[in-house]
Each structure stands twice: as structure tokens, then as C-alpha cells.
Structure 1
Amino acid sequence: MLITLRRASRYPSPSPTTLRPFTASSITRTRTHSVLENGTSSLHQQTQLPQSFTHDTLLQNKRVLIANRGEICMRIARAAKSLGATSLSVCAPEDASSPHVQFADEHVVLEKGETAIAPYLDIESLTRVAVENGVDFVHPGYGFLSESAPFAQSLVSSGIEWVGPPPEVLQLFGDKIQARALAQRSNVPVVRGSGNLTSGEECLGILNNGDVRLPAIMKAAFGGGGRGMRIVRDLSQVASSFDSCQREALTAFGRDEVFLEEFWEDTKHLEVQILADGKGGVVHLFERDCTVQHRHQKVIELAPARNIHPELRRRLVDCAVTLARQCNYKGAGTVEFLVRGDLESPETEFVFMEVNPRVQVEHTVTEEATGIDIVQAQLLIAGGRSLEDLGLEQENIKLRQHSLQARITMMPGKGEILNQYKEPSGSGIRCDTAGWYSGFKPNQMYDPLVGKLICSAPGVTSESFEAARQLMLHSLKDFEIDGVANNIDALERILTHKDFIDNRYNTSFLTEYPELLDPSKAKKTQTEHGSAKRLYSEERIRFELTPPMTGNILDVKKKAGDEVEVGEVIVVLSAMKIETEMVSPVKGVVTEINCKAGEQVSGDTIVAVLEGHEEIQIDTTAAEQIGRSTASASSSAVGSQSSDPSMDVWRASDEFVHVAANDGGMTLPIIRSVPASQLNDSKAQARKERNSALRDELFSKVDAVKLGGGERSVALHRKRGKMLPRERIAAIIDPGSSFLEVAPLAGGDGLYAADGIDDLPSGGAVAGIGLVHGREVMIVANDATVKGGTYFPITVKKHLRAQQIAADNRLPCVYLVDSGGAYLPKQAEVFPDKEHFGRIFFNQARMSAAGIPQLAVVLGSCTAGGAYVPAMSDESVIVHKNGTIFLAGPPLVKAAT
């Protein structure tokens, strides 16, 4: 059964902002910005490109279904919204918590499939969703069914516009064999290759006959995106490589056909972005350099290619445009080439690889280099616009700047929940991401792409490239991802490698320098005095083999009782749509196999148990140069003794660590806590009593401020049917969870005694962090029992401090507003400028623009500053009967005159 969830459009047509009371069944949303309801950011993607098409009204009030997930779903939803269309996202049941689901105007939960990916590949189900929800367009994004001719035909037959090439063109380029034939007919150079193969034996026969020479590459005939590929350098690898390639192709694309091509090594991978209108109009948006790859997955992309000769560029783009014209192409596409030789030479050799008949992951770097919004253009072309209508004549398309793109991805290992997540921002920086946030648990059954970081610098010179590279390095340092293993450090190493800086790299770059991806894989040093030798531990160990992440077992290579060597494959795991081989870390025997093919396993599942001896690698030369030692037990502790008795708990032990350095050793003390049993009893007891007294005093003060502004004020407050601020917060946060309050004792200790105010409990506002549906949220609640919830100088400081915490940690803000604005007798100290009281509203605007949701609930009579908070929020709710907003009244007029 299909479950359809709808809500009011997040992008209403422009109209005067209105605020209405709400009952349990009606909520008014106002000034809705493009932010997620669950607090996801990704708003850096919204930077408008110089040549966007938002003036075009073709898609006004149309409905666009996005048959994809993650960052590309959000990118398409944003483009649809900018053109006035309503977006509809879909998700597998296992994917329902992913941010892309809520980002669109509406969403549909698909039927559960045999795997987490299956619902995204179900043509019948997706077509039914499109028809039942009355959509006008379907945009497939990339991957999944983006190159599926049957899916496109199913939609076209249902009267729905397919955002992409027509089905017959998808069929042509979906079959890499047919695509090669078209290239040959069009005089576009290709490498030697085979037809579709059915088995490893057939593949072996072609290689033995010399029809294709080693090294060769196996490719998914109906795939792309770097998946379903295996390089073969030895005939003994053919059978296993074919099986693995076929499985990965079937998982990623739903088709398992594989073919063979000769493998060009030491090449550049360049691709040309094209746009075509299906009416004879074809333009190119220049080339991209996608040479930096790992296992055929692009890591860093550049637009344009560096130092390319104008004639070589002309030859490449002419081939791309010719292929598009030959097949009456429509929409966005990419024509990929391998280039062997110097890019600065006009006669450098190149060959056609394939056409990707869809938008690509790296379209964003071309958008930044040219200033053209490719996704908007796709949608409008699908609606019938010509390139001429869009003003996209070839002579008007220019390169405006150098752009670099780094793909931020999850990596195996570490945890599964984001402890911290923060994207960089600033001039020249763009982030197209999957909408992650602190506390989010990414679904590891899908693509590991977190998002794309694009950095640009004006001009197309060596200086502009270097400026973009430096900006990328700074931005990567500002990209905070903690809790989930990622590749940010690896990207920094790549960008600072001399070969990358000097443009002396090719597609084997990361193979030649594996330490760029993993420092532990640095090549071992060897000298005439010593070389690496392998040893095994004397002790026999028991090793439990666990997956690096959640995934599906594809194959079990060993059984209990099998003897194994270090590095032998035990289990093959499919995770993040990529195969991962789990290998033996010992020389020994398999004692248990606890999994079977087809099972889903998590990171803590013990899939196999082995017993044996660990491999020890010793570099004898390094061993002579670097030694480990410990100082003698008689060595004295480092540091002086403090007169503070509490410092007696900490001391330096008599153990030391010797750290080798190139110019000598450095000795550091190991710092350890002393167990309470070893402390002087009298001192420990004295500290315990003092700390207990301080704790009791703190709890007493906190309990006192929870009573609010006094019995009379609380009674009047409750008579109006209102809850106290902490009661309101308790009703909002997740049941059983705690509330981490900020500065609960602010406003105490006679701060305003000179004004005749003995105490200002909690400064007149309660603020802190709580969990709402498992998401950390900053809540600021006025306490109307304390001087009507008005703002004193300390209230302003507390509110600003809460906003600072929220901004630093990207926490959505919920304002429980019940305030009369500034406390008028102290108005001379509550300045309305943006550095004091007015800073509250300035912060709301800045956080909203940065993708941090600002939500307000009006719970009482609110005026002046109390009215500005909901007015500056992304969404506001007014409580029926109690909530009102006004900007003036007798007290305010009297005070002002």
C-alpha cells in the first residue's frame, strides 16, 4: 500500500503576511523560508547563479516528482521551487528519516521492497505515484532509474513529462555497445572493445584471442557513475572480477550485462557538459577535469580543465556536440573522454568513453564556472522551451571563473551518528549537501555522498585556480563532521600534493600515492642497510570479524575449518552501493561463520571468528633509527606541586613515554588519576563535605527560580489558562528526556536591587537545549510571571547567548513568546540597535539565511520586541484566545511621550 503524506505548500505565492489564531486543527505558517522542518541546513546551495531562469513562468503551479533521494533530490526541489513549481519527494520506508523527504513540498512513502534500494527502482510503483499525485514532470536525478528507458516510456505513456532525453535516446546510450557504434559512425575515436558478455569464460576467450588486449576494464553495459567496473591485468583475475562486476552492476542499475574494453592508463579524464532542446539546438558548457578518482569514483573535479590548448578543447566539444545532434538529444548530458598526453598540445590523442544521459553529480562545478543553472534549464527544456527561448546561444556561453569541487563522503569505520555537523560558508563557497545535521544518523544502505563543496575564484588563469584551491583548503578546515568517518583529511592531502598543484597527475594518481587516502598505506622505506620483512606474532589470538558499517552480505568465501592467510577474503559486503571485501587479519583458521549471503548486518555483527597469528611488519632500517623506551621508575614527576588541595587528585606518574623525533627524543609524562583509596582520608572527606554543601546550595537556588515571579503573579498567570515556561518546555521535548538549561540563575543576587527589584528569577526568560523528536533544539521561553516577560539588560544578554549557542551548533530555535518587549523603566539600557536588543532579530535573520530554522509560538499578549520575534521567524503559531501581537498601546505611548 502506498502511503501519501501531504502538507500545506512550504512555498506559498507571495502575499501579505498574516497571522491568525490557531486551534488544534489549524496552524498558520508565515514567512516560510527554504529550510527543513527537522532543522537541516544545506541552504548554501541557494546561491543564485548569474544565468538562472526564475523569470520564466512556464512551471508556475506545475507539480514535479523527484524520483531520487539525498542531495540531488534537494537540489531539484530547490530548482522547482525557484521556478514556481510544487515538488514531491519519495522515499523507501527505510529512508523515511532522511532529510530530503521533508525538504520537498509533499512526500510519498513507497512500498517496502526486498532491499532498501528496491523501491527507488520500482518503475510500476513510481509511475503509479506520479499518476495518483497528479504530477506534470518527473525528474530522475542521477543513479537509480535516471537512465532507464522503460521508466521514461512508462511516464510518457501516462502523459507525464520526463525530464531528460526521450526513451529511445536513453536506450541508445544506456547500451554502451550501441553508444560505441554511434561514436564510430560519427567519426569520434573509441578504444577496442567487446559486445555484451554473459560469463567470465566468454570474457577470458576474448582476451585469449587478442580481440581485446590487457590491461582491460570490465564495465556495466547499462551503468555509469564509476560503479560496476573492474580493471583486469592478469588472466587469473577474470572470473572473480567478472562475477563481482556483474553483482555490483545488478545492485546499482538493475541490469547485469557486462562488456570489455582495453584500458588506457596514465590518462586525463575530461568530460563535456551539453544542453540540447530536442529541436536541433545543442550547446556545450565547456569541459570538466575529473581525473582525480578512486576506484572509478570521482573525488575532485575542476572546471575548466587547466592549461588546455584551445584546439584540443575545440576537438573535444565538437565531438560531444556531434554525438548529441546525431541522436536528437534533449536535456542535460555529459560526454566523457580519456585524454592521453599533454593537454597543452593541440594534437593530443583522446577516445570516447560514454555519454551519461542525465544530470551528473559534478554538474555543480560547471554551473559555477559558467554561471548557468543546469537543473532549471533541464526543467524548462522538458516543458518545451528551446535553447533560444532560454537565451542559451553558444556565443553567449562563457567561462567566468575557475571552480573546484570536492566530494565529501562517508567512509567505513568509526560511528554511525553525527555528533557535530557544520558546513562552511562565505563568498565563493557553495555546498550542495544531503541536509545532514548534528545528531543525525545517516542511512548506510545508500550512497555514501554527504555532499559537494564547490569553491570558485573569478577569472580563468593559473592565479584564479590557485585562489580557488586555497579557498577549498580553508573551507575543508571549516567543514565539521564528527562521529562518522569521512574523507575530509584525504581531500586536504590531495589538494596539497605537489603533483596536483603542478598539474602533473593522471587517473592513476591515487593508486600511485595510496597514502593520500590512507596514511597507513604509505610506501615502506628501504635502504641498502635494511628492508621490510614479515613476521608473525608468537601468541595465537582470537579475532572477531565485524563489518565496517551496516550493509548486506553478498558472498561468503570461506567456511568454518578453512585455513587462511593474512589478507584473504572471508566475506564480501555491499554497503553504500559499493562492494567491500572483509579480509583475514591473521594467518590461521576460520572457527565460525555467522552469516550467509543476502543477510543484512550492522557494524556490531560478528560475521566470522578466526584464530591465528597476527602479521608484524618491521622495517629494520627504521628500527635502528627510532626506538621506544621508558624512563626508569626512579624518575621524578614533571611539574610543581600546587597549594590548592584539590590539585592533589592529579599527579604525574613515574611512567614516561619516549617520542622519537628527527632531531632527538622528547619525554612526556603520562598523567593518571589517583584512585580515591590512595588519597588522604581527611582531605577527601573535607572536599566531599564542601562540594556537597555547594551542590545543595546550587539545587536550592535552582528550585527557587523555578517558582517564577512570585505566588501572586503565578496565580494570575494560571488563571488565564497558561503554563509556566518550564512546563511549556517539558510538554514540547521528548518524553523522558532532559532539558539542559542555560544560565538558570541569571538575574539573581540583587542585580537590580537599586531599581527596587529584589530578584529577577532566571533573568525573566528560560533558555536551553532539549530533544524534540530526537533532534537537539534551542528553546527560549519568556517568563510572563516575571515583570510580564519583559526584557531587562540581563534578559537580552541571556537571549543573545542562547542564539550564539544555537548558531555555533546549528540548532533550530523555538521561541515560546510571552513578552511585553523592553522593560520600559530600564529602556535607556535596552538599546534597540543591532549590537544589543535589536541583535536578537538580526540573529534570527542571519540564522534563517544560514538554514537554521526559527520557529515561534505566541502564547500571550506580545508587543514591541515581543512582537518582532514571531515576525522574524520562519514559521509562527498563535495560541487561540491567549496569543495576540500588537506594536503599541497606552503604556508604550505614555512612556514614549
Structure 2
Amino acid sequence: MIHKILIANRAEIAVRVIRACRDLHIKSVAVFTEPDKECLHVKIADEAYRIGTDAIRGYLDITRIIEIAKACKADAIHPGYGFLSENHEFAKACEDAGIIFIGPKSEVIYKMGNKNIARALMNSNGIPIIPGTEKLNNYSLDEIKTLALRIGYPVILKASAGGGGRGIRVVYKEEELESALESCKREAFNFFKNDEIFMEKYIINPRHIEFQILGDNYGNIIHLCERDCSIQRRHQKVIEIAPCPGISDNLRKTMGVTAVAAAKAVGYTNAGTIEFLLDDYNRFYFMEMNTRIQVEHPITEEITGVDLIVRQIRIAGGEILDIEQSDIKPRGFAIEARITAENVWKNFIPNPGKINEYYPALGPSVRVDSHIYKDYIIPPSYDSLLAKLIIKATSYDLAVNKLERALKEFVIDGVRTTIPFLIAITKTREFRRGYFDTSFINTHMQELLEKTEDRHQNNKEEVIAAIAATLKKIREEREHI
């Protein structure tokens, strides 16, 4: 049984894990770097320890994190997402130190973290993969050009150790290949310290559909339905939906069975995600496996009623998975919108600063996962995610309506956010019909920006003041009930 968990992460996901610990009566331990000393996860944890002055380096310091875990007698570590969450060396260090790593085994992280190994493993187990190559680092430019012609343009170059939309280049013709190779390798090394890249056939305008996986330590593996993550900008997810609107039950079943088979092929344990690309002909291909909890996990929780973080902890503690595939019956639709501190009107440049007003949306089946609060100063060194707005409804149409309403009520003042841009997305015909693919934002960018600008210029200060006053009055009335 686990008694104390150190969360080797920060901000929203650290807050989420701490709350799960409280639900299970497990002590929580936060770690933080100097810029994060006022972050919410530091304030609400049972214990908190500084891991350095540099904003990023401390969260990547395996030795220091293990030392703190031992010193405070934490018997488990939750890695969250990002930072060390998919670092097999970190998982191995936990295993060697006798500390439970809340995630899969280190060798599984290694296999699935290297996309070349993952592709080969999936292919050998009959999982459909996108036509492509092994690593290209030992090939000459002429040989790579020949491979590209054999696959057929357009092709996509990917970092073998990549993730988060980094280390990716799409090449439409041979003249672009050499410069794309150089920039892809350079970015791969800068972000992952590994310049291995490979090449795949580029599936034009697919849907990005992922299946949530849970597996215990006794060979039991199930999926908890799918999420549509096609609303993306520069390979970064913006809005996610569960279940995927517009696909047939037969296709959903086939993809789910394939996702479980993929997880079984690698002997997966704990929570993970099998990601597929779906083309216009309903052919789907394995893209990658994320060996951690996902940012968008709340929408799966909302439609299935399964608390994924609690399940992660219980599985890591040795419990058997007491739910079967037949128990998973999605109810309704859930949508997550990622609210970030970015200036939409200046090419989405990050916009850190002080939050002067903060009134998250309220209402039935409206959930907000966040780490921010009034007067919180957003550090400039981290990802710009401020909050995740999660809504649930009985139908997709109602879910979109509720998302639009909740976004309009959501107030974050003091910094620019993507809320107006998200509202613009909810107003488009394609999004409301559930008819979109990964090209949606790029295709509609001008239209979206025009709608966003109109709303931003329409008495922004008066709108914020009115909404803030209304929500403040509601809270005051509730306090007197």
C-alpha cells in the first residue's frame, strides 16, 4: 500500500495528483524551483521541497528528486506529464532506489519512447503502421531521396525520441528535403539530445484519435474509449472530444480492440495512450504510444466515471484491475478546451504576467483543472497552459453549446489568453457538426482570427467587468446560504 507520493512535476497536473492523493488519504509531496514557489501545487501539498533556482533544470534533476523522495520517506513518485514522465532512466532510477514509479516499467518506456523500436514492435504484432523507414542517420542524402520517392510525397520527418509536436517536418517535394532534414535533426537534438530521425508517408488531413489504456500488473488490459484530438495548431492539441463524433460503432470497436492488442504487445501496465491517425477511407494507423497520463485525461473520466489518477495510484500499489471491458460504457460527450496565456493577435506568442482577475466558469457538468488564482504571477519559463475547461453533456450538440457558454463566462484578466479564439472555434459550422480533421485550424485561421478580433474589440473591459461582477455576486450569495 502506498502512503506518501512525491509529484515530480508542477502546476495543473501536480495539483490534480495532489487532489487524488487527498481522496485516497495519501500524503503528498511537492517539489518546486524558485520561480514556482508561489504556485498552487506548492501551497496545497502536505510537504514541499525546493529543487533548485533554475526554472526547468530542477524538474529534470533525477538525482535530486530521488534524494528528496528518500529523505521524506515517499514510497512512490508520480511523474505527471512532460519533464521526466517518459524518461526511462528516471523510471529505472526509481526502481533501483526501491521507490514505486507510478507508470509503466522502464523498459516499456524505452521501447515505446523510441518511435523506430515502437514501429517495429507494432508491425511484428500485426498492428497497422504508416509506411515509412527506420532511422535515417546512417543514410546518405541520395539514399534518403530514393526512400522518399519509394514512399511517395508528401513525407514527414520525425524525431525518434520526439513528442509534443517537436522534431517534425513535412516535405512536399524533393527540393525541400535536404533543408528539412537538417532542421529536423537540429531541433531533435536541441529538445531531446538525440538527433535520430525517421521518415513516414504523410497522411494528408487525417483525424487524430487516441485510446486511453489501463493495465494492471497481472496482465489485465482494457481501453476506456477514444478521444478525438484533431483540433490542433502546429501539432499541439487545442480542443479534445470524447468520444469521437462521427465515427461508426464498428470502427470504434475495431480501433479499441487494436489499441488493447498494441498495449498487450509491449506488456503495458498503468495508464497510457495508443494514438492513431484515421484517413478519409476509415483506414487507421498506429502513430505512437504515450507512456504517461495525458493532458486531456479528464474528458475520459467524465464519460466513463473512472478516476484515472486514482486508478494509476492503485495499480502502482499492486491492486488488480477490477473493471472489465464490458463495464466501460461511455455516457454522453465531454469536451476539453486548453486555455493558454498566449497573444492570439501576435502569432500566439506566450504572454506571462500577473493575473488581476480570475473567475472560472461554473454550472452543471462544468469542470476546471487549473493551478492559477487571482494575483498569481505566471512565470515566463514554462508551458503557457493556464487552465483546462472540461464540460459534459448528453449530446455533442449540447456539449458544444455548453462549451461556448462556459468560455464566455470564463474570466482571466491581466494577461492575454486564447479564450476568445476558442469561442471562435465553437461558432464554426464544421466544429458544430463534428466534421473536422487536423487541418481545421490552419484551414480556418483567417476566419477564426477575424471572429476573435471582433469579439476582443467589442468593449472587452465592459464585458469582463460585467461577467466578473455577476460571478462575484453568485459566490457571495452562496457563502450566505
Change in 2 beyond 3 A, CA 1:501/1:810: closer
- Is 2:81 aligned against 1:142? yes
- Is 2:314 aligned against 1:380? yes
Using the alignment, how far apart are the partners of 2:183 and 2:218 within structure 1? 41
Alignment correspondent of 2:440:
509
How far off its partner does 1:168 sit? 0.8
How far off its partner does 1:395 sit? 1.2
1:487 to 408, 418, 423: 418
Using the alignment, how far apart are the partners of 2:335 and 2:469 within structure 1? 32
Alignment correspondent of 2:244:
305
Using the alignment, how far apart are the partners of 1:480 and 1:378 within structure 2? 33
How far off its partner does 1:438 sit? 2.4
Alignment of 1:417-496 (within 5 A): 417-433=354-370, 435-458=371-394, 464-496=395-427
Q: What SS class does the counterpart of residue 466 from structure 1 fall into? A: helix
Alignment correspondent of 2:459:
none
More deviation, 180-189/89-98: 89-98
Alignment correspondent of 1:324:
263
CA contact (8 A) 2:108 2:266 kept: yes
CA contact (8 A) 1:422 1:810 kept: no
Alignment of 1:556-575 (within 5 A): none
- Is 2:92 aligned against 1:92? no
Q: What SS class does the counterpart of residue 266 from structure 1 fall into? A: coil
CA contact (8 A) 1:207 1:213 kept: no
Using the alignment, how far apart are the partners of 2:61 and 2:474 within structure 1? 36
CA contact (8 A) 1:415 1:483 kept: no
Q: Structure 2 length as normaliser, TM-score?
A: 0.89
- Is 2:96 aligned against 1:133? no
CA contact (8 A) 1:278 1:330 kept: yes
- Is 2:12 aligned against 1:71? yes
Q: What SS class does the counterpart of residue 518 from structure 1 fall into? A: helix
Change in 2 beyond 3 A, CA 1:272/1:516: farther
Alignment of 1:50-69 (within 5 A): 58-59=1-2, 62-69=3-10
How far off its partner does 1:100 sit? 2.0
Runs of at least 5 residues in structure 1 that lack an aligned partner in the other structure: 1-57, 343-347, 459-463, 523-803, 812-838, 847-897
How far off its partner does 1:263 sit? 1.1
Q: What SS class does the counterpart of residue 228 from structure 1 fall into? A: strand
Larger radius of gyration: 1
Alignment correspondent of 1:185:
124
Using the alignment, how far apart are the partners of 1:89 and 1:251 within structure 2? 28
Alignment of 1:271-350 (within 5 A): 271-341=210-280, 348-350=282-284
1:367 to 301, 317, 320: 301
1:108 to 29, 45, 49: 49
CA contact (8 A) 2:242 2:334 kept: yes
Using the alignment, how far apart are the partners of 1:271 and 1:230 within structure 2? 22
CA contact (8 A) 1:287 1:304 kept: yes
Change in 2 beyond 3 A, CA 1:279/1:497: same
1:409 to 311, 315, 340: 340
Alignment correspondent of 1:635:
none
Using the alignment, how far apart are the partners of 1:465 and 1:86 within structure 2? 38
Change in 2 beyond 3 A, CA 1:126/1:248: farther
How far off its partner does 1:270 sit? 0.7
2:429 to 498, 503, 511: 498
Change in 2 beyond 3 A, CA 1:63/1:203: farther
Q: Deviations over 1:460-508 (max 9, x none)?
A: xxxx111111110000001111221211111111111111122322111
Query: Higher helix fraction: Structure 1 or Structure 2?
Result: 2
Amino acid at match of 1:436: I
Change in 2 beyond 3 A, CA 1:64/1:279: same
Amino acid at match of 1:351: Y
CA contact (8 A) 1:227 1:297 kept: no
Change in 2 beyond 3 A, CA 1:175/1:438: same
2:103 to 164, 170, 186: 164
Q: What is the aligned-residue identity percentage? A: 38
Change in 2 beyond 3 A, CA 1:416/1:248: farther
- Is 2:145 aligned against 1:207? yes
Using the alignment, how far apart are the partners of 1:350 and 1:806 within structure 2? 47
Q: Deviations over 1:654-697 (max 9, x none)?
A: xxxxxxxxxxxxxxxxxxxxxxxxxxxxxxxxxxxxxxxxxxxx
Q: What SS class does the counterpart of residue 360 from structure 1 fall into? A: coil
Change in 2 beyond 3 A, CA 1:119/1:246: farther
Q: Deviations over 1:46-72 (max 9, x none)?
A: xxxxxxxxxxxx44xx11011111101
CA contact (8 A) 2:359 2:471 kept: no
Change in 2 beyond 3 A, CA 1:288/1:414: closer
How far off its partner does 1:808 sit? 2.0
2:23 to 69, 72, 82: 82
Change in 2 beyond 3 A, CA 1:431/1:240: farther
Using the alignment, how far apart are the partners of 1:465 and 1:520 within structure 2? 23
Alignment correspondent of 1:124:
63
CA contact (8 A) 1:414 1:483 kept: no
Using the alignment, how far apart are the partners of 1:123 and 1:78 within structure 2? 24
Change in 2 beyond 3 A, CA 1:457/1:521: closer
Equivalent pairs counted in the alignment come to 460
Change in 2 beyond 3 A, CA 1:175/1:495: same
Q: Structure 1 length as normaliser, TM-score?
A: 0.49
2:115 to 166, 176, 180: 176
Change in 2 beyond 3 A, CA 1:194/1:415: same
CA contact (8 A) 1:299 1:406 kept: yes
How far off its partner does 1:106 sit? 1.0
More deviation, 284-293/128-137: 128-137
How far off its partner does 1:233 sit? 2.3
Amino acid at match of 1:425: L
Amino acid at match of 1:207: K
Amino acid at match of 1:399: P
Cα RMSD after superposing both structures: 2.6
Q: Deviations over 1:766-791 (max 9, x none)?
A: xxxxxxxxxxxxxxxxxxxxxxxxxx
Q: Deviations over 1:828-883 (max 9, x none)?
A: xxxxxxxxxxx99x617x7xxxxxxxxxxxxxxxxxxxxxxxxxxxxxxxxxxxxx
Amino acid at match of 2:276: F
Using the alignment, how far apart are the partners of 1:128 and 1:486 within structure 2? 38
Q: Deviations over 1:118-147 (max 9, x none)?
A: 221121221222112211110101111111
Runs of at least 5 residues in structure 2 that lack an aligned partner in the other structure: 343-348, 454-467
Change in 2 beyond 3 A, CA 1:204/1:357: farther
Using the alignment, how far apart are the partners of 1:270 and 1:805 within structure 2? 40
2:289 to 355, 358, 379: 355
Determine which structure has greater relative contact order: mean sequence separation of CA pairs < 8 Å that are 6+ residues apart, divided by chain length. 2
Using the alignment, how far apart are the partners of 1:518 and 1:250 within structure 2? 34
How far off its partner does 1:88 sit? 0.7
Using the alignment, how far apart are the partners of 1:139 and 1:232 within structure 2? 38
